[in-house]
Amino acid sequence: MTKMVTATSKQEAHRSDVHGSEANGSVSPGSAARLFGLIHHEMHLVEEEFERQAGTNIQIISQIGRYLHQTGGKRVRPALTILAAKVFGEEVGEAVIRLAAVMEFLHTATLVHDDIIDGAETRRGHRSVSAQWGNDTAVLIGDWLYMTAFETALCERNLAILDTLTEATRKMTEGELIQLTLLNNLQITEEQHLDIVVRKTGYLFSACCQVGAILRGATGEEQRAMASYGLNLGIAFQLIDDLLDFTADARKLGKPVLSDLREGKVTLPLIRLLKNHPELTPTVREAMEEPAGETQRAERVLALLTEHGELERARIEAYSYATHARNVLSIFNDSLYRSALAEIAGYIVERDR
């Protein structure tokens, strides 16, 4: 599976062999704060834009919009849009801020819908929208977020941006549908899993970076490079997310560990464990069916993954994609913001939540 993904102008995924399995260096939490500090002013404007777009005289929408804003995550996707734009010049205009907020709207919409599908009670340490307001309301809020995002993007009157966002949204939906068909399937292959990862996570990261480039008048080659950077970064991000489901502290993760396993999502470490040791299939199946509140079987699976080195192998896989993301940036002139994008690749794979 150690193949890198490159995006074309249509963001179709192609893979090519890569040499080397580890990104050069890592990013400490302090360094991560410094990186995002480079765009502190712009991110503050994004927060204001998010609030403005979520504002409405419909009370239930306004209430949930405030809740989503207050319980939001790290804002990695809008940060990528801003940093990608700044690679082409220090000053960014209102359009970049608006589109950065659009990216967070799209991401938030997918999370709201994902929590309905997964039956998730919590998200980032808080009750999910579906748990708090019910599935019916959550479905409609997710739809409203999607439509608001596209309405805002449409104001730019830029077909390249709309094409990029439409493609990313379609791919994310396809990824979710493919994943649903493969739930509880212990025969899923590495290739099928990578396809889900690329669609569900990679394409939105790619779109964030490509839109930042488009807004600054980047050439086709520059846009493709930014799209490829984002795609590989997104894959690394998701592979680490999958890994954290096994290794993270539940309080830091904001949800119970081993949630993916209990939801029937078979990710890379398990895929490889079962491929190399098919006799362990009954053990994994029992863990997936373990009653709520019990962890003995799941902990046994975690011990097996550690014993056979599959968790470390998955981490090395993520490093490989992060390395490729960094290397793609070499076509751009050296700058503080190009360096920040390169360092973010280290932050992505070193984070613990």
- How far is Cα 245 from Cα 256, in angstroms, rounded to an integer? 8
Q: What is the pLDDT of residues 41-94, one digit of tens each?
A: 999 999 999 888 887 878 899 899 888 888 877 889 999 999 999 999 988 899
The whole-number pLDDT of residue 232 equals: 97
Residues forming beta bridges with residue 7, ordered by sequence position:
13
The whole-number pLDDT of residue 17 equals: 36
Taking domain 22-165+182-350, whether its CATH number is 1.10.10.10 is answered by no
Ramachandran class of 14: left when φ > 0, alpha when ψ lies in -120 to 50, beta otherwise? beta
pLDDT exceeds 90 at position 118: no
Q: What is the pLDDT of residues 81-115, one digit of tens each?
A: 999 999 999 888 999 999 999 999 999 999 999 99
Number of neighbouring beta carbons within 10 Å of residue 122: 16
Task: Tell me the whole-structure pTM to 2 decimals.
Answer: 0.88
HEC sequence for the chain:
CCEEEEECCCCCEEEEECCCCCCCCCCCHHHHHHHHHCCHHHHHHHHHHHHHHHCCCCHHHHHHHHHHHHCCCCCHHHHHHHHHHHCCCCCCCHHHHHHHHHHHHHHHHHHHHHHHHHCCCEECCEECHHHHHCHHHHHHHHHHHHHHHHHHHHCCCCHHHHHHHHHHHHHHHHHHHHHHHCCCCCCCCHHHHHHHHHHHHHHHHHHHHHHHHHHCCCCHHHHHHHHHHHHHHHHHHHHHHHHHHHHCCHHHHCCCCCHHHHCCCCCHHHHHHHHHCHHHHHHHHHHHCCCCCCCHHHHHHHHHHHHCCHHHHHHHHHHHHHHHHHHHHHHCCCCHHHHHHHHHHHHHHHCCC
Considering only residues 20 and 232, tell me which one the structure prediction assigns the higher pLDDT.
232
The whole-number pLDDT of residue 4 equals: 62
Whether 277 contacts 308, CB under 8 Å? yes
Q: What values do phi and psi take at 123, rounded to 5? A: -150, 120
Q: What is the pLDDT of residues 301-349, one digit of tens each?
A: 999 999 999 999 999 999 999 999 999 999 999 999 999 999 998 888 8
The whole-number pLDDT of residue 257 equals: 62
pLDDT band at 10 (very low <50, low <70, confident <90, very high): very low
- How far is Cα 101 from Cα 145, in angstroms, rounded to an integer? 11
Q: Which range (33-37, 204-208, 321-325) has the least confidence?
A: 33-37
Q: Which residue has the tokens 């704060």?
A: 33
- How far is Cα 18 from Cα 143, in angstroms, rounded to an integer? 39
pLDDT exceeds 80 at position 16: no
